[in-house]
Structure 1
């Protein structure tokens, strides 16, 4: 049943100019070919609204008659009252018809002076207004999420409509037309409360990229790490990328850093106590003197009243070791998120492009019997065991070192050297020379590129054309394949997949080291890994600060202030990862990476 609102006197309107805008956007694919509408048409498109006027805008879309805020829509059986469409129950989908609030030229609602303003209908009688009906836009599933229990912490409306360009554009245009439309309070108002009722104008605008997520962050619904995880989840190409992003979105990494920061703050409090009360005081932690680092704990010796440094030092050492081990695995999480680069190199006409096409399952590169057909680097994206890999088909390595092939090999995580089985000696020599040149150009301090010499797989192609294969046994270990017959390709692909998986998984940690397990995790943070260079830089800075603390703590009371400052610095660095410390300078860059509607 529709809600009945009293016919209010709007002569003394009060407008809230400080109210936050209500934003809307297409949050899914759909909308036809226009890139501004999200790409190709889909069966269903999701349009999202968030803000204080979201429910008011929805009421306008659900009403078959104009709702002007002046009580101009009368119910036949309730003279002097206005019928307001009833909203769906919170978090329950309801099939509704959406109506276009825009008055067209052929509509009887158009007034004599040509104005389309529903709030300025001139001399039209109230009965004529009642007879006006809006054009339907679409039948859609409508969901409402009242704040603060919503994604953004604000009132949210989702419209699941048909995904054609005409429908999506019509709904978005309808929402745009509601900007500055006058409304009264959305709550039911007694008919006797006609005078002095506050009014406002809806402020609706298209959302900026990432603005929904930005509001969720601003309202405490998401932490900074969770925002980054959501970005990773949206663009995840493989199952492992999805799982890693979900683990981070679940808050595992945030809980880990918050747990570490809590330990540092506790130690800092004890250091401040010594500064305030003097070194003659004997201070210790609570009765359970142990480092809470997960399901296991690291016991701290209790001599019945240790000085504050004696109590803090084991905790700080344990945390620093935890950070160092966490950093040792940093490259794995970053590689999984960003993907691996696999360069296919070799002499001209060795079969590099044929191998690329075979692995890709399509003709991604031109194949010709003429040497030197490939001039530019051809890239193909593959999913190898859940790892996103970019295969790079390079131009043939000639006697004069080819610049493109050298750069691709230098920046690759894995190199596949393709050798013609009928000319394997020259082929192996050319690939080795290229790898040596590429390796010499790698900066030893560059953490983004691994040592390529350790990640080389040799492939001898065209083995089906070799009659005498005796000389092949004297060549370096390699895979014999034939791109023409697919012989040996499956075995090579399995080895390539294993190599990729080994670079993004921690096979060295079998759980047999209880100390490592204890200091590396806080309860509920299993599998938390660094996925971004930003995380790594802050954790490195925190670890370095703790190392300086350990050095200063050996110097006794005279260095107490300096040591406490290092604890404070380490806690601050961890806070910057999670957003607990001001990170305003990176927020604009982060949210700009989101697409509109997220």
Structure 2
């Protein structure tokens, strides 16, 4: 990397301060082109007047100098803290372009930090997650990953694999030496133990992604069961139209909600019923698809009804879902008893749109129980899951071929390679392009 890059690190628009970051071998020369005779002392803010190459004053602001390798990117770097007006930032941008610098690509600063050994790849991903964090739980997970919690789990597994690999390679490389005859068999126990750990991590893989992307809760039920009213009551605002006309909601309406510091995606959707209206048919299809993939379904039943309309949503119910008997302020109809009998395994609560404090508390408890855990989640992105599955599959093959140590050793080696790629120690260029493409410019 011989070129020098720059980018605004703060969002565009009217602001008190705008930060422009510079990184690369020509950083000191770029500061000189802006009118600084020499860079300030390392990591010390200095008030300076910045000028264009033509001599026009751009701004008077703070300049910070970070000589490599003790910088975020590992290269010579600098930050310009300017007044946040659009004209000032535009003038500084043009001056840096005139000095021979180029605008950075999304994530290029963090990519350089990775390529210069300042961050592992999983830590680089955590930087993007921390920038995008909307809740306390998301920020905690991203910070834990940035501090190495995810990498430590994978490094521990990788070290265990290397120990097992040493046993297998001893059997392959020194068959005539004074090596115990059962040395290959001795690799079975650590491989089985690690395979159990990887399978447990995969069984728990949804937890990290739910924290990052949001825990999905679907409100399902028949038309006019009160889904939109409950949706609005849980959100504390009018997000969905409420009318007495059945079928008013035709599409899935998603809205974010924070419960106990965790991000939740709450969805209102079309009432589930048989219909010939093509628009409503599509709405029901989308409702069923969203509900089937949700982490929790709130099955809302009109507790005052006796028409059996609730049955059209019954097939979506799963054992840990919640059954809500709505309109608790009205006389109970026959449907309430029928629902209790049909879904005895589900948690049943009586609710009304006017009072959802108890339901919110119950949902908070459920989300906390599902997303908290004793160990840091082993999967926070789909990339991690794919590599973990690859390592598991290689270990399964290794166990099946221990009688042929050469084959088993190769599979153990490939499993270790897959785990190493999580931290980016072994990675392909196209994987790096995919990871850093999701970053914002300036980071």
Kindly indicate whether residue 317 of structure 2 is the aligned counterpart of residue 421 of structure 1: no
SS of residue in 2 equivalent to 1:478: strand
Give the aligned partner of residue 52 of structure 1: 25
Alignment counterpart, residue 38 of structure 2, candidates 86, 97, 102: 86
Kindly indicate whether residue 326 of structure 2 is the aligned counterpart of residue 461 of structure 1: yes
Report the Cα offset of residue 210 of structure 1: 1.0
Report the Cα offset of residue 358 of structure 1: 1.9
**CA distance in structure 2 between the partners assigned to 1:470 and 1:420 by the alignment:** 8
Report the Cα offset of residue 136 of structure 1: 2.4
* Number of residues of Structure 1 aligned to a counterpart in Structure 2: 429
In structure 1, list runs of 5 or more residues that go unmatched: 1-18, 33-40, 64-83, 104-133, 180-203, 284-305, 440-451, 510-525
Give the aligned partner of residue 344 of structure 2: none
**CA distance in structure 2 between the partners assigned to 1:358 and 1:532 by the alignment:** 32
**CA distance in structure 1 between the partners assigned to 2:86 and 2:351 by the alignment:** 49
Kindly indicate whether residue 419 of structure 2 is the aligned counterpart of residue 544 of structure 1: no
**CA distance in structure 2 between the partners assigned to 1:56 and 1:26 by the alignment:** 19
Give the aligned partner of residue 97 of structure 1: 49
The Cα offsets for residues 243-277 of structure 1, whole Å up to 9 and x where unpaired, read as 11111111122222223223323332343333232
Give the aligned partner of residue 278 of structure 2: none
1:154–1:552 CA distance, 2 compared to 1 (3 A): same
Contact 1:247/1:528 (8 A) holds in 2:
no
Kindly indicate whether residue 301 of structure 2 is the aligned counterpart of residue 407 of structure 1: no
Matches within 5 A, 1:446-485: 453-464=318-329, 466=330, 468-469=331-332, 474=337, 475-476=339-340, 478-483=348-353
SS of residue in 2 equivalent to 1:454: coil
Report the Cα offset of residue 416 of structure 1: 1.6
The Cα offsets for residues 510-535 of structure 1, whole Å up to 9 and x where unpaired, read as xxxxxxxxxxxxxxxx5252212222
Report the Cα offset of residue 472 of structure 1: 8.0
Contact 2:304/2:332 (8 A) holds in 1:
no
**CA distance in structure 1 between the partners assigned to 2:254 and 2:333 by the alignment:** 35
* Structure having the larger proportion of residues in helix: 2
Root-mean-square deviation over aligned CA pairs? 2.3
SS of residue in 1 equivalent to 2:430: helix
Alignment counterpart, residue 208 of structure 2, candidates 305, 313, 333: 333
**CA distance in structure 2 between the partners assigned to 1:461 and 1:473 by the alignment:** 9
Report the Cα offset of residue 471 of structure 1: 6.1
Moved more, 531-540 or 423-432: 423-432
Give the aligned partner of residue 254 of structure 1: 151
Give the aligned partner of residue 183 of structure 2: 308
**CA distance in structure 1 between the partners assigned to 2:170 and 2:102 by the alignment:** 53
Kindly indicate whether residue 15 of structure 2 is the aligned counterpart of residue 42 of structure 1: yes
SS of residue in 2 equivalent to 1:160: strand
Kindly indicate whether residue 258 of structure 2 is the aligned counterpart of residue 383 of structure 1: yes
Moved more, 400-409 or 324-333: 400-409
Alignment counterpart, residue 276 of structure 1, candidates 173, 185, 189: 173
Contact 1:344/1:393 (8 A) holds in 2:
yes
TM-score, structure 2 as length reference: 0.89
In structure 2, list runs of 5 or more residues that go unmatched: 276-280, 341-346
Report the Cα offset of residue 425 of structure 1: 5.3
Name which one, 1 or 2, has greater alpha-carbon Rg: 1
Give the aligned partner of residue 163 of structure 1: 84
